[in-house]
Structure 1
Amino acid sequence: MVKYFFSEADIKSSWDHVFSAFWQRYPNPFSTHVLTEDVVFRMVTVDQQLITRRLLTKTNRLPRWAERFFPSTLSRCAFILEDSIVDPVNKSFTTYTWNLNHTKLMSVKERCIFQESVAHPSWTQLQREAWISSDVFGFSRAIQEFGLARFKSNQVKAMRGLEYALTNLYGDVHQRPPRPAMRETKEAQKHLTPATAPQKPRQYV
């Protein structure tokens, strides 16, 4: 089974500002678990879309109950690959992220779509989805529950980090976005349609 997460939020900043702030989020006091970020690949397509691949390193502290079952030599860092597609014509910015190591223990795939708000053109609408799974026999449910709880906590920090970058770049007129509405399913596979099911990340290199 897969744990599924969905949220939507209105960011009270223009799409251009959000797009610019996204690349300048780190470091910030809300995302101290992000250690490094490196651009691996970047190109502009013939239709003027910006394609980027980045490698991020984050801390990966295990919960206390898990430390009894997994070796102390297990890396405490997670390597995250992030692919992004920027469409400046349609003002759409999509990111795909997934972890490269510890995938048997827990796999987390995330998709975020930043678009200009239809109702408020001076705002940006963010739609975030995540799929969390584990292949550890006998502990997969507990690990997925832990992964979902940690993901919820980290996505709140990510929003605050983005707000922090917006404030640094454009002043303190940007207010914190309202708490996003969240929906989750315990048996996500039964509810996912082909349009929303996790897709294999697109490869550019």
Structure 2
Amino acid sequence: MVKYFPGQSVLRGSWDQVFTAFWQQYPNPYRHSTLGDQQDAPLAERLFPASVAHSVYILEDSIVDPQNQTMITFTWNINHAQLMVVEERCVYSVNSYNSSWTEIRREAWVSCSLLGVSRAVQEFGLAWFKSNVTKTMKGCEYILAKLQGEAPSKTLVETAKEAKEKAKEMALAATEKAKDLASKAPTKKQ
């Protein structure tokens, strides 16, 4: 049984910019090339041997046609294939509505041949795939912003780190203010 996932995305960058960003996509501050997302780890550890539960090795084959401004990528996993195969095909081309944007038509197939668990494994594979598409797109947008000379939006880790630092600063300021108010408060005479 095979699960099929079609999708389409638009990147606000020319085909040339997206093509350049594609080849500069790693390191991606939003994604690693492994299965190690925290939310996926417990299920992955039940499905895969513990020693390899967080590593999925993939191959990618790319066909680039600079004259027609298209790029087609084929990606598939080369390990864990006895359990699950995830295959993806993406076509990058100039957006038909706005020639300074690039569209990505994406198709994915998740298959599992194990009786009794194939549906659960396919659902896991599809959820994992969708999660990684989101992270890949965020990473591509991040790189595009850098290529376009814009300040890239902050990653979630950067935003969380800044929020934590701001909270520390506010707590320290509140403590100092409380000490100051306490020192100025009239003392109770008995």
TM-score (structure 2 length as normaliser): 0.72
Write out the 4+ residue segments of structure 1 that deviate beyond 2 Å after TM superposition: 58-76, 171-175
Q: Take 1:173 and 1:14, find their aligned partners in 2: how far apart are those partners?
A: 18
SS at match of 1:77: coil
The match for 2:61 among 66, 83, 95 is: 83
Alpha-carbon deviations, 1:45-97, whole Å to 9, x = none? xxxxxxxxxxxxx2456642453465434453111000001101100011000
SS at match of 1:168: helix
CA drift of 1:168 comes to: 1.5
- In the TM superposition, 1:43-122 aligns within 5 A as 58-59=34-35, 63-65=41-43, 67-68=45-46, 70-74=48-52, 76-122=54-100
Q: Take 2:113 and 2:80, find their aligned partners in 1: how far apart are those partners?
A: 10
TM-score (structure 1 length as normaliser): 0.67
SS at match of 2:116: coil
Root-mean-square deviation (Å): 2.1
Whose Rg is larger? 2
Q: Take 1:124 and 1:65, find their aligned partners in 2: how far apart are those partners?
A: 35
Normalized per residue, the structure richer in helix is: 2
Gaps of 5+ in 2: 154-190
Structure 2 equivalent of residue 137 of structure 1? 115
Q: Indicate conservation of the 8 Å contact 2:15/2:93, yes or no.
A: yes
Q: 1:157 to 1:70 in 2, by over 3 A?
A: closer
SS at match of 1:111: strand
Q: 1:15 to 1:71 in 2, by over 3 A?
A: closer
Paired-residue identity, % = 50
CA drift of 1:173 comes to: 8.0
Q: Take 2:44 and 2:99, find their aligned partners in 1: how far apart are those partners?
A: 46
Q: Indicate conservation of the 8 Å contact 1:24/1:165, yes or no.
A: yes
Gaps of 5+ in 1: 35-57, 176-205
Structure 2 equivalent of residue 11 of structure 1? 11
Q: 1:9 to 1:134 in 2, by over 3 A?
A: same
